[in-house]
Every structure is written in C-alpha cells, then in structure tokens.
C-alpha cells in the first residue's frame, strides 16, 4: 500500500473528519497543499525538496488532474513530511546530553520503535527532580507522537513535560522551556476543534502563567493570551489574561499589538467596543 493510500484509509476510519472528500484524488491534492501550508513552503520549495518540477507539484495539488502521484514520489513526500516535522519540533540545544542525541539519531533514521523503547527506559531510570527531566519528557512524547499523533503515551509525556516546566533553574532552562512550549503550540494548531484541543490549551496556558510567575517575562503572558485565543478557551479566561497584560503594560501598547497580530483576534472586541463577559 502506498503512503497516501494509507493516509486515505486512516481518513476513512475517522468518525468525524474535519473535511469530506469526494475521492482519494481530492484527498491527496489537499494533503499536499496542506503539507505546504503547514510548513510555509512555496510550490517551488517543495519541488526542490522532492526533486520534481513545479508543474508536477501543481498537478499534485490539482484534484482535477488525471495524473496520480507516483509511488516513489509518495515515498519522497513521506520523508519530507517527517523531516519537516522533526525540524519544527526539536533542536539539539547545547550542551546536548548523549541520550538526547541518541533519541534524535533514532528518529531521523526512522527507527521509531527503538526510540520509544529508549525513551521509556530513560524516563523510568531518571530521578524525578533531575533538571533534564522536562527535556527528556518532551523528547519521549515526540518518539511516540511522530508515529501516532493520537498516541495516549505521547499525551501522557506531553502533559508531564508541561507540568515539569518552571522547575528548572539552570542556564538552559528557558531555552528548553521555550522549545517545549513552541512544539506543543504547533501541535495545538493542527488539532481539530473540540474538548481535546481546549484541554491541551488549558495546560499550555497554565504552563505559560507558571513561567511568568517565576521569571516575570511578559512574553510568557503574551504566549498565554495567544493560547487562550487559539484554543480557544472560554472568553472569561481570554479577558483575564488580557486584563493582566493591560495592567502591566498599559492599554495603548497592548491595543497596538492585539490589533496588529492575528493571534489575538479573539480579543480585539475589547478595544473596538465594550464587551460584557458573564
């Protein structure tokens, strides 16, 4: 079975898919277009990565095209998607422990089972208060979610990583914490709207607020506000964070950023007209 045939089969097993497709070809065209949009690639950039012409990419994205995507090109798209996913979720922050580099090497070599086994072992062997634990939990979640985004084990490690944020005090703590927040926010943005997305958002928001309480960095509160808007979390939660930012930074500065950044569109009404929040 080809890669996109497998994806088509997974789509057909979904109970409530986000979008309905009339044919496998329409699904494939949208999948390729979605891959580009998710990683902000032009058709030219994807063509270079896949070693094909721009016209070929255009045909891939045209649901009316009679040419199906050849099996070897589907393999290329699978590898491209995997490489882009890894690059968007992880960086080898230095100094990088040997076990983190080992996990990275296994993931890039498509050895997911080995990566998962090593991650599970390391989590069990590491002391609860080890300063490297948040980073290891994050990487452990990646080893499971790269193969199955809906993995219960991945969610368990993701939540544990968020809970561990704010406990680090070393020179790398902030960089690692920002990587974890950024990765989980990327995942939030591709989740279907619903309770699971809101639950992830609530955990992310709590982590951002905890980091702000520790460091006093306003960037964490801005992150919290974007999470509240994008999840989306209840209006009251959104406006509580907005009110805190306004009290710290003043209405004019907060208004300018909210009105000019699409990430905060959900709370723009606060500066356009009075809003009643029950």
Q: pLDDT tens across 128-173, in order? A: 888 888 889 999 999 999 988 889 999 999 999 988 887 766 667 7
Residue with tokens 């356009």: 272
Token representation of residue 148: 């199955």
Query: pLDDT tens, 73-116?
Result: 999 999 999 999 888 887 788 888 999 999 999 999 999 999 99
As a whole number of Å, the end-to-end CA separation of the chain is 53
User: Model confidence at 275, in pLDDT bands (50, 70, 90)?
Assistant: very low
What integer pLDDT is reported at residue 29 of this predicted model? Answer: 95
* CATH class of the region 3-84: mainly alpha
Query: Does residue 24 surpass a pLDDT of 50?
Result: yes
Query: pLDDT tens, 207-239?
Result: 999 889 988 999 999 999 999 999 999 999 999
Residue-range domain boundaries for the chain: 3-84, 90-188, 191-278
What length is written for the chain?
A: 278
Q: Of 144, 219, 237, nearest to 182 (Cα)?
A: 219
| C-alpha to C-alpha distance for 231 and 13, rounded to whole angstroms | 25
Average pLDDT of every residue of the chain: 90
């Amino acid at each position: 079975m080809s890669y996109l045939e497998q994806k088509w089969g997974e789509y057909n097993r979904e109970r409530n898919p986000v979008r309905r497709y009339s044919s496998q070809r329409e699904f494939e065209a949208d999948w390729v277009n979605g891959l580009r949009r998710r990683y902000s690639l032009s058709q030219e950039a994807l063509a270079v990565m896949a070693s094909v012409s721009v016209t070929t990419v255009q045909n891939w994205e045209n649901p009316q095209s009679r040419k199906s995507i050849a099996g070897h090109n589907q393999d290329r798209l699978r590898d491209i998607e995997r490489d882009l996913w890894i690059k968007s979720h992880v960086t080898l922050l230095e100094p990088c422990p040997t076990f983190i580099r080992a996990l990275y090497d296994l993931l890039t070599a498509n050895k997911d089972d080995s990566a998962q086994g090593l991650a599970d072992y390391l989590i069990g062997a590491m002391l609860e208060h080890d300063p490297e634990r948040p980073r290891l939990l994050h990487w452990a979640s990646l080893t499971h979610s790269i193969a199955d985004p809906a993995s219960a084990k991945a969610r368990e490690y993701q939540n544990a990583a968020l809970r561990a944020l704010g406990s680090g005090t070393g020179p790398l703590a902030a960089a690692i914490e920002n990587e974890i927040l950024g990765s989980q926010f990327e995942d939030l943005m591709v989740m279907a709207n619903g309770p699971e997305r809101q639950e992830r958002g609530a955990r992310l928001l709590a982590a951002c607020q905890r980091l702000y309480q520790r460091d006093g960095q306003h960037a964490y509160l801005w992150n919290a506000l974007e999470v509240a808007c994008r999840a989306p979390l209840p209006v009251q939660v959104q406006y509580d964070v907005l009110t805190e930012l306004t009290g710290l930074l003043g209405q004019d500065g907060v208004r300018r950023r909210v009105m000019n950044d699409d990430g905060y569109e959900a709370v723009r009404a606060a500066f356009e007209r009075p809003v009643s929040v029950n």
